[in-house]
Amino acid sequence: MTAALLAEKVEVVFDQFRALKGVSVEVHPGESFGLVGESGSGKSTLLRAIAGLAPVASGSITVTGKPLGRRRDKAFYRQVQMVFQDPYGSLHPRQTVDRLLQEPLAVHGIGDSETRIRRALEEVGLSSGFRFRYSHQLSGGQRQRVAIARALILEPSILLLDEPTSALDASVQAEVLNLLEQVRRDRKLTYLMVSHDLAVINHMCERLMVMQNGESVEQLTAADLVSHNVAQDYTRRLLKASEGFVRVG
């Protein structure tokens, strides 16, 4: 089976600082794969390296069997989209939802915007009444729904999710996670998802990689996480720190 995403020995260096020190990961088609680790361990940097937003010094990244070059082309963004943590920062506040959803379609020269926008809003549970609202008039949860609609409107097969719900209240967080899960099932999407919250990863992902200081510590299944079947002390410490959140099976 060809991997949906394959990163091999990826190094990211900012000035002299090695933020990723040769990280490898393989995500299968249709899989939801999690990245966990303490703050600064390199989780976001790995997503950003894949998305072309962080400088890859060495190593390779392959999407559905095709190696990526230095720059990400339009075809890449038709296939891979990213959703960021902060829906306030990622959506222009003075643009209407309609305009925010039109933009990627215009960039990619896609014509059937009317149908796509209606479908995208419906899919994320927003009525057509939201279409001409400005993003600053939306709640955090509604904004994140718009950000997800914007990512989905190009019909990608892979979503890179960087703490997609950590800026939201707990009840809204659950709604957005359920939405992401529903969309993944309906569209047979592949997710690579960062969260500092092991309970979120446990709920959303089949497998995960634990990261520390720009390196992979170990890979686990969600079942390993629940039964604390882990090999590394670092992972045990992470689990201990989130005790009470991850149910012991």
CB of 188 to ligand ATP, least distance (A): 27
Q: Is 196 in the site for ligand ATP (CB under 6 A)?
A: yes
CA-wise closest residue to 63 among 105, 13, 28, 21: 28
C-alpha span between 101 and 121 (Å, rounded)? 9
Contact 224, 192 (CB under 8 A): no
Q: Is 195 in the site for ligand ATP (CB under 6 A)?
A: no
Tell me whether residue 142 or residue 202 sits nearer to ligand ATP (CB atom): 202
Contact string (CB under 6 A) for ligand ATP, positions 33-52, x = contact = ----x-xxxxxxx-------
With 0-12 / 13-18 / 19 or more C-beta atoms within 10 angstroms meaning exposed / middle / buried, residue 15 is exposed
Tell me whether residue 83 or residue 120 sits nearer to ligand ATP (CB atom): 83
Q: Is 216 in the site for ligand ATP (CB under 6 A)?
A: no
CB of 193 to ligand ATP, least distance (A): 12
Q: In what order do the strands lie in the sheet with 66-67?
A: 17-27, 5-14, 56-63, 66-67
How is residue 94 annotated by DSSP? T
CB of 45 to ligand ATP, least distance (A): 3
C-alpha span between 245 and 92 (Å, rounded)? 34
CB of 217 to ligand ATP, least distance (A): 12
Q: Is 14 in the site for ligand ATP (CB under 6 A)?
A: yes
With 0-12 / 13-18 / 19 or more C-beta atoms within 10 angstroms meaning exposed / middle / buried, residue 62 is middle
CB of 98 to ligand ATP, least distance (A): 31
Tell me whether residue 42 or residue 52 sits nearer to ligand ATP (CB atom): 42
CB of 210 to ligand ATP, least distance (A): 11
C-alpha span between 229 and 13 (Å, rounded)? 33
Tell me whether residue 17 or residue 247 sits nearer to ligand ATP (CB atom): 17
Interface positions with ligand ATP (CB under 6 A): 14, 17, 19, 37, 39-45, 196
